[in-house]
Amino acid sequence: MTRVLVTGGAGFIGSHLVDALVARGDTVRVLDNFSTGRRENLVAVQDQIELVEGDLRDPDAVAQAVNGVDLVFHQGALPSVPRSVADPLTSHEVNSTGTLRLLLAARDAGVRRVVVASSSSVYGDTPTLPKVEMMATSPRSPYAISKLASEQYAGSFAQLFDLETVALRYFNVFGPRQDPYSSYAGVIPRFCLAAWRGAPCLIYGDGQQSRDFTFVADVVQANLLAAAAPEASGHTFNIAYGAQTTLLDVVAILRELTGQALEVRHEAPRAGDVRHSLAAIGKAQELLGYQPQVRFAEGLERTLGWYQHQV
């Protein structure tokens, strides 16, 4: 039985990971300050986990959270490119400094491995596709910079100290529990909610921008593999489906799924947004054994069904 900490475990991705860890019989502790995480995400497992309510910026809370654990899944972060543009300092403090505090505490507590959540945003808007891990990074937003700093801190700890680390660059994760109400909400939850409400789908730009949308179950799979893969320490991996979908494609699929003639409303592009995104996932397939299981249309249908109950 593995003793595991999930930072940000009440969040969208973190709570799905907590569910999977509990299901396989691990002893699970969650660290979350509930700034973006939701208590209801943990209701089904609340009697099977230990909850430490605290902030990544608080060294005492972080030290308490890592004490006695073998493995850390570091999902805790302040998400969103637009949020980071509006408030760069807080994004840096939570994502960069918070990760450094966690790595220091994990090293001092004798943790075996830390799996760090990074982001495809570190690549920036360079035209070369697909994105390969060896490419030069070119982050365009404070959020992207903070994520790059997080994964580089992780890599340096793997080289300098007796602490294994793995960084996973997520590409546009979506699925049930993703918050549709925040002003910084991702496009999939916003579109799903709009579809059930009969409201227009708001697109910043012409809608031809594309993303490599990745269903949350595949991200959970990647984390579990990254925690166990013997050759993974010190590496960074793209975690994605490996295909491009435009925002107008998303609307078209939602029209098919709902049978509604969904309206689209266009507004000016947002600062810091990337035009196109597509991942090469060969490295994760080779070293982790990762293989995406959920096609985009299937994942969107499952996600849409969940949001029907949130209207």
Whether residue 121 lies inside any domain: the answer is: yes
Whether residue 29 lies inside any domain: the answer is: yes
Whether residue 88 lies inside any domain: the answer is: yes
Work out how many domains the chain is built from and give that number: 1
- At 60, which CATH number? 3.40.50.720
Angle at 133 between CA 127 and CA 137, to 5 degrees: 55
Q: Which residues are catalytic?
A: 143
**pLDDT band at residue 270 using 50, 70 and 90 as cut-offs:** confident
The pTM of the full predicted model, rounded to 2 decimals, is 0.95
Alpha-carbon dihedral 249, 254, 260, 265, rounded to 10 degrees: -50
pLDDT of residue 272 exceeding 80, the answer is no
Whether residue 162 lies inside any domain: the answer is: yes
pLDDT of residue 308 exceeding 80, the answer is yes
Select from 76, 69, 51 the least CA-distant residue to 107. 69
Select from 310, 214, 203 the least CA-distant residue to 262. 203
Q: Are 300 and 215 in contact (CB under 8 A)?
A: no
Provide the token pair at 223.
């984390």
Could you give the CA distance from residue 213 to residue 220 in angstroms, rounded to a whole number?
14
Select from 140, 247, 266, 248 the least CA-distant residue to 205. 266
Chain centroid offset of residue 260 CA: 30
Q: What is the pLDDT of residue 274?
A: 80
Whether residue 66 lies inside any domain: the answer is: yes
Whether residue 202 lies inside any domain: the answer is: no
pLDDT in tens, 100-143: 999 999 999 999 999 999 999 999 988 899 999 999 999 999 99
Average pLDDT for 271-300: 94
Average pLDDT for 249-276: 91
Whether residue 263 lies inside any domain: the answer is: no
Q: What is the pLDDT of residue 185?
A: 67
Average pLDDT for 1-5: 93
Q: Are 284 and 291 in contact (CB under 8 A)?
A: no
Q: With pLDDT > 90 as the criterion, what percentage of the chain qualifies?
A: 90
- DSSP assignment letter at 92: I
Alpha-carbon dihedral 118, 123, 125, 127, rounded to 10 degrees: -140
Provide the token pair at 48.
């099977």
Could you give the CA distance from residue 68 to residue 27 in angstroms, rounded to a whole number?
11
Average pLDDT for 5-15: 98
Q: Are 94 and 58 in contact (CB under 8 A)?
A: no
Whether residue 201 lies inside any domain: the answer is: no
Could you give the CA distance from residue 2 to residue 21 in angstroms, rounded to a whole number?
9
> In degrees rounded to 5, what are phi and psi of residue 174?
-145, 165
pLDDT in tens, 135-190: 999 999 999 999 999 999 999 999 999 999 999 999 999 999 998 877 666 899 99
Q: Which residue has the tokens 């249309």?
A: 297
Indicate the range of 29-33, 79-83, 103-107 predicted with least confidence: 79-83
Select from 203, 274, 205, 283 the least CA-distant residue to 237. 283
Domain holding 142, by residue range, is: 3-174+213-241+281-293
Q: What is the pLDDT of residue 183?
A: 61
